[in-house]
Amino acid sequence: MRRFSAEEIRDLVVREVPPAGISLARTPLPTKTTWEDRTVEVDRVVKTACSRNCYDTCGILAYVKDGRLLKVEGDPDHPINRGTLCVKGYTYPQRVHSPDRVQHPLLRTGERGEGKFRRVSWEEAFDWICERLHALRERWGSEAFMEYLYSGNREFLGKQVSGRFLALFGASKLVGSF
């Protein structure tokens, strides 16, 4: 195999890879789209990204109408997914607006494992957690508490913020990967 020299590789990168740190957005964001065989005017199209546990982290164009996610498309300017999504990605509108979503805090009323709950307010939910965290720290020490978190949403911002709280509290730390 002939080996490229350092200069050749540098040239090749400049030629074949877009420059770093500069937006690659080129295609104007659409204002309308086809939906159930009609052309529909949408309220806005937002560029965002998928953060499932997957290499691709696809760029998404999210079409919003009347406060709802009408449809999603792959961002044509994203060098990896180049305008398409996968079968899972295309289900997002159905997922976001699923009637099965947990809609408000739920407190267990039945036995563990029965899945019986009653609706409570966020205020009540926070009080419930705080009361138990204080009691736990009092009785067992802070390391008796921890988070369990993995890649359901593999986005990194949320887990840094939880990490700040858990570090301050002195919780046991979850490590490793699977």
Partner 1 sequence: MQTPEVWSRHTELVLMWGCNASAAGIHQEIGYLYDAMERGARLIVVDPIVTAVASKAHLHLRPRPSTDAALALGMINHIVSRNLHDQDYLERHTQGFSQLMEEAGQWTLERTREVTGVPEGLIAQAAEEYATHRSLLECGYGHQRYTNGHRTQQAISALAAVCGHMGQPGAHCNFMEVGAAYTGFLNSARVQNPPGADIKKTRLISISHFGPALRAAQDPPIKGIIKWRGSLITQQPDARGMIEAVKGLDFLVSIDQFLTDDTDWSDLVLPACTIFEQWGVHPSYRHQYLQLQVPVLEPQHESMPDIDFWAELARRMGYEAYFPREWTGLDWLRLLLPDDFPLEQAMHPHGPVRLPERFCPPVPNWDGNFQTPSGKIELYSGVYAERAQRFPGEWDPVPRYVPSAESPDGDPERAARYPLLVVSQHPATRTHSQFGNLPYIQEIEGPATAMLHPDDAAARGIAEHDRIRIYNDRADSHVLAHLTRKVLPGTVELDSGRWIKTGGNVNLLIHPRAAGPRDVGDGVMAEYDMQLDGHTIPYFNLLVEVEKA
Contact flag: residue 53 with partner 1 (CB under 8 A): yes
Contact flag: residue 49 with partner 1 (CB under 8 A): yes
Residues numbered 59 to 78 that lie near partner 1 (CB under 8 A) are 59-60, 62, 64, 67-69, 74-75, 77-78
Among 42, 71, 73, 81, interactor with partner 1 by CB under 8 A: 81
Q: State whether the Cα torsion 152-153-154-156 is positive or negative.
A: negative
The rounded distance, in Å, linking the Cα atoms of 132 and 170 is 15
Per-residue tokens: 36: 């159930």
Among 9, 31, 35, 40, interactor with partner 1 by CB under 8 A: 9
The rounded distance, in Å, linking the Cα atoms of 137 and 90 is 44
Contact flag: residue 86 with partner 1 (CB under 8 A): yes
Residues numbered 136 to 155 that lie near partner 1 (CB under 8 A) are 136, 139-155
Contact flag: residue 157 with partner 1 (CB under 8 A): yes
The rounded distance, in Å, linking the Cα atoms of 47 and 23 is 12
Contact flag: residue 26 with partner 1 (CB under 8 A): no
Q: How far is the CB of 39 from partner 1 (least distance, A)?
A: 21
Closest CA to 54 of 154, 142, 122, 126: 154
Q: How far is the CB of 127 from partner 1 (least distance, A)?
A: 8
Contact flag: residue 160 with partner 1 (CB under 8 A): yes
Between 34 and 122, name the residue whose CB sits nearer to partner 1.
122
Residue 165 burial (C-beta neighbours within 10 Å; 0-12, 13-18, 19+): exposed
Among 34, 41, 98, 138, interactor with partner 1 by CB under 8 A: 98
Contact flag: residue 172 with partner 1 (CB under 8 A): yes
Q: Compute CA distances 143 → 34, 95, 110, 175, whole Å.
A: 54, 36, 28, 14
The rounded distance, in Å, linking the Cα atoms of 85 and 88 is 8
